[in-house]
A and B are shown apart, each in its own frame.
Chain A
Amino acid sequence: MAVGVDIWQVKVAFGALEVLKGVDLNIAPGELVTLLGASGSGKSTLLNVVAGLLQADSGDVAFDGRSVQDLAPRDRNIGFLFQSYALFPHLTVAENVAFPLRARHRDKKTQGRVTQQMLDLVHLGEAGGRKVSTLSGGQRQRVALARALAAEPAVLLLDEPMAALDKHLREEMQVEVRRIQRDVGITTISVTHDQTEAMTMSDRIAILREGTLVQVGSPEECYMRPADRFVATFLGEANLVPLTDRAGSGGTAVVRPENYTVETNLAAPAGPYSATGTVRLVSYQGARCRVEVTAETTGELLVASVAGTVDRAGLAPGAPVRLRCLEPDKVHVLT
């Protein structure tokens, strides 16, 4: 039932500005792939090309192996969730959800039945008669999702779906949208600049930088084995430790802050990827403590994120410390 989406060599330029420089991406049926990138990376442009709201200069997009490049958005059978939700303000909640069914000339009985199913799916079964303006932000997003899914589209496209929600609601809706996407089993492409959201929701993350895909992989792969320095620092925090001491191999080790612990006893033997330096700042963050250290060799900032609390008295600014790597086998080396 679910269809795969294939993106081949999609290029888009606005005047002299190349926004997408030939992007290839294959999405399996039922998979949720997040396009992650900073603003200007081309992620929204790619989503609009898949939706047909923007025409690519070259390349092709196929649903289920058939090119949709020449189809208008309304003929692509997609559901598109806008950042601003774009609910029709003059229609009720139920009329909004029924809109795609009406556009497809479904009979009134089917419209009513499917609309109720969709509202139940997003836990708004009682809200059908309400005006859109009376809904909260989270409720509006649920209605927009119900509307996007009502006509059983082949592909669901989410454009910064959580951007307009506050932090608490955002985390709740990330899990909720993921649940609904799994239940419906619909192939989904989401766009975000929020790495936590990408990690939480996705089967795979596709990281875009300046119009080029730099890495595609599961959240674990991208986090544990980043393709390059950009991905390493963009997806979570990373200490990039140069490995010049290894017979001139010249690689860079990616050590995550949670893989470092802080030792004040410099006499103990040093392990792999450890580093010495002086304390710059200690900040208490609840479940973890964040210790910033100026590296002795490079002068760069290194960060350790230690579970629980640390002995803050021994970590006054300027105190000499060693950062010891807890699990050296989890360190990824970039060559």
Chain B
Amino acid sequence: MTALRESLGKSGWAVRLAAGLAAFILFAVPALVLVATSWTEQRFALFPPKGFTLEWFGEVLTSKKWLQPFGRSATVAAIGTALAVILGVAAAIGVSRLRSSRAARAWRTVMILPLAVPPIALGVGLYNMGRWLNLSDGRMALLILGQMISALPFVFVLVAGAITRLDPNLHKAAQTLGANSWLIIRKVELPLLGPTILAAAVFAFVVIFDEVVLAVFLLPPGVETLPVTMLRASQETMTPALTAASTVVSLLAVLLLGGSQMVGRGKKGGADAP
């Protein structure tokens, strides 16, 4: 064991460098290739890029063709995230109150079920539900419902996990101090779960924003979310505007995820108690 560590110690930097390089190639290279094709002067998004132009970024950031789906996606994701967080947090707190472990298991299974249902199946189901209910004007609401359902398991699993890590005596202490359930949720549990709920919301937002199958199924022709526009662009023209749009979205996602991590860590550090 120590011999292994010693030999690793001598060549440790080489091992670490190799591992780092492998991770870099695996994760970063496809992303960098994509980014690189977005500044090419050619009319097709092909690697390696020829020349350098910001024309495609200009197109993406100014044309209605890209901005309108972006705005629609952001709106749908914001509403869907809000609903998924409210329902997911409520379900997670609810399951923590169940005395019977069998009922708790059943509830957990139901909550993560959407992960097991193929998006196509969910899409067909919602599409037929819309037809049956004659919701020709409510396709956007159906889409939000469907995407909220697909994001719900992520919120539930994250928050339910965080609740099991809370000190159970905090709940008991609040009870003995005279607090009713609502006060315990509002003043004890939600503040302590705050960083987790924030992370879950970011997760849900990204899941919904990137969702493409349900959007293709449910939205009428001419009404598109950003992923649908990108999908169509990849099938039709494949101009570098597609990869420019991808770059912008990826950048926003990285900022959002990174930012929420930072806030989460800051809060956790403040409330940390051994």
Q: Which residues of A contact B (CB under 8 A)?
A: 51, 53, 72-80, 82, 84, 86-90, 99-100, 102-104, 131-133, 147-148, 151, 157
Q: Is the CB of A74 within 8 A of B272?
A: no
> Please, could you name 19 A-B residue pairs with CB atoms under 8 Å apart, sorted by A?
A53-B175, A73-B176, A74-B180, A78-B176, A79-B176, A80-B172, A80-B173, A84-B169, A86-B172, A86-B173, A99-B174, A99-B177, A100-B177, A100-B178, A100-B179, A131-B270, A133-B271, A133-B272, A148-B177
- CB contacts (< 8 Å) of A75 on chain B: these are 178
How many residues on chain B are close to A (CB under 8 Å)? Answer: 22
Bound together, the chains give a CA A151 to CA B271 distance in angstroms of 25
Q: Is the CB of B192 within 8 A of A90?
A: yes
Q: Is the CB of A89 within 8 A of B273?
A: yes
B170 interface contact, C-beta 8 A = yes
B6 interface contact, C-beta 8 A = no
Q: Is the CB of A90 within 8 A of B191?
A: yes
**CB closest residue in chain B, given A147:** B177
Bound together, the chains give a CA A87 to CA B172 distance in angstroms of 11
B124 interface contact, C-beta 8 A = no
Bound together, the chains give a CA A74 to CA B175 distance in angstroms of 5
**CB closest residue in chain A, given B269:** A133
Bound together, the chains give a CA A147 to CA B177 distance in angstroms of 8
- CB contacts (< 8 Å) of A79 on chain B: these are 176-177
Given A84-B169, A90-B271, A157-B176, 20 more A-B residue pairs with CB atoms under 8 Å apart are A53-B172, A53-B175, A74-B176, A74-B177, A74-B180, A76-B176, A79-B177, A80-B176, A82-B172, A86-B169, A87-B273, A88-B170, A89-B273, A100-B177, A100-B179, A103-B180, A133-B271, A133-B273, A133-B274, A151-B177
- CB contacts (< 8 Å) of B191 on chain A: these are 90
Give A75 Cβ to nearest chain B Cβ, in Å.
8
Bound together, the chains give a CA A99 to CA B270 distance in angstroms of 20
**CB closest residue in chain B, given A100:** B177
Give B132 Cβ to nearest chain A Cβ, in Å.
46
Q: Is the CB of A89 within 8 A of B178?
A: no
Give B118 Cβ to nearest chain A Cβ, in Å.
41
- CB contacts (< 8 Å) of A133 on chain B: these are 271-274
